[in-house]
């Protein structure tokens, strides 16, 4: 496991806030970091993409109250949007009994959902930390060329070969285009969004000219802006 630079900051936030939201794109290492953090203190982990774990939260206050002495790690928490109101009540109850910090660690891969839901119900009770892919300060100097070629997503960076890494990245993009983005509602042709994503990569560090992108894609400037907003909300840009 690569030591992530934000590990110390995450632990400090947990020790000073009732709830912490760790957000970042899929496969960036949030779950690995959260589980490593949970090993340092009493904790319980629930993956809300798992039917079995969601079933445990059929009566969330009853179940979570049984683990009030633990850090509860909730992965992909935006899958249960109605849960946030319950978390607010549990946090306030724990505050009255003297447990004011280290109650919940919420993991999410879509900032627009997580921030909207938690911001409305957990204001003053939650801190946010964004997790980025591996950067140059987290790898030995001799691995910088590998990082440059493969990028900072752990599975891509640590792949057994450049070919395996490239295949992982292709599958990663396909999963976002064909599964994750449609789940959020926007009906955007996958191939159009793939072309836009590729164009953004080739224009890295350059000035954004929405009109040029619009002409190349055969859409208007407002549509290009909406595509860009979506990728930003997904923490991919």
The whole domain housing 22 covers 7-130
State whether 149 and 124 are in the same domain: no
| Position 20 in a domain | yes
Q: Please tell me whether residues 16 and 104 are part of one structural domain.
A: yes
Whole-structure pTM value: 0.87
Instruction: Print burial letters for 37-64: b (CB count within 10 Å at least 16), e (below 16).
Output: bbeeeebebbbbeeeebbeebeebeebb
Last residue within a domain, chosen from 90, 109, 130: 130
Structural domain tally of the chain?
A: 2
User: What pLDDT, on the 0 to 100 scale, is given for residue 189?
Assistant: 84
Domain check: are 25 and 111 in the same one?
A: yes
Structural domain includes residue 1: no
From 73, 95, 130, give the residue that closes a domain: 130
Are 93 and 208 members of one domain?
A: no
| C-alpha 220: how far from chain center | 30
Burial class (CB in 10 A: 0-12, 13-18, 19+), 133: middle
Query: Do residues 121 and 157 share a domain?
Result: no
Flag whether 106 is in a domain. yes
β-strands 104-108, 43-47 pairing: unpaired
Report the pLDDT value the prediction gives residue 121, as an integer from 0 to 100. Answer: 79
- Which pLDDT belongs to residue 139? 94
Tell me, yes or no, whether 103 and 171 share the same domain: no
| pLDDT on residue 104 | 95
Q: Give the per-residue pLDDT at 185.
A: 62
Domain at 97, CATH number = 3.40.50.300
Counted residue by residue, the chain has a size of 237
Same domain, 124 and 28: yes
Per-10-residue mean pLDDT, the chain, length 237: 91 95 92 95 94 92 91 89 86 87 89 64 88 94 95 96 96 88 76 91 87 91 89 85
């Amino acid at each position: 496991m690569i030591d992530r630079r934000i590990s110390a900051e995450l632990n400090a936030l947990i020790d000073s806030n009732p709830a912490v939201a760790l957000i970042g794109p899929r496969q960036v290492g949030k779950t690995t970091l959260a589980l490593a953090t949970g090993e340092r203190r009493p904790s319980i982990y629930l993956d809300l993409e798992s039917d079995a774990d969601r079933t445990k939260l059929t009566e969330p206050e009853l179940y979570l109250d049984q683990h009030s002495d633990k850090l509860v790690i909730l992965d992909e928490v935006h899958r249960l949007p109605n849960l946030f109101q319950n978390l607010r009540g549990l946090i306030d109850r724990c505050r009255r009994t003297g447990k004011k910090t280290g109650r919940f660690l919420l993991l999410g891969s879509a900032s627009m959902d997580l921030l909207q839901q938690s911001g409305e119900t957990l204001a003053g009770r939650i801190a946010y930390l964004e997790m980025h892919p591996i950067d140059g300060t987290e790898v030995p100097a001799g691995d910088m060329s590998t990082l440059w070629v493969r990028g900072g997503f752990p599975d891509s960076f640590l792949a057994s070969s450049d070919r395996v890494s490239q295949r992982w990245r292709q599958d990663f993009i396909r999963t976002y285009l064909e599964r994750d983005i449609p789940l959020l509602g926007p009906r955007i042709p996958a191939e159009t969004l793939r072309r836009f994503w590729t164009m953004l990569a080739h224009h890295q560090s350059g000035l954004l000219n929405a009109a040029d992108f619009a002409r190349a894609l055969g859409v208007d400037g407002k549509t290009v802006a909406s595509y860009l907003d979506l990728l930003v909300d997904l923490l991919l840009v």
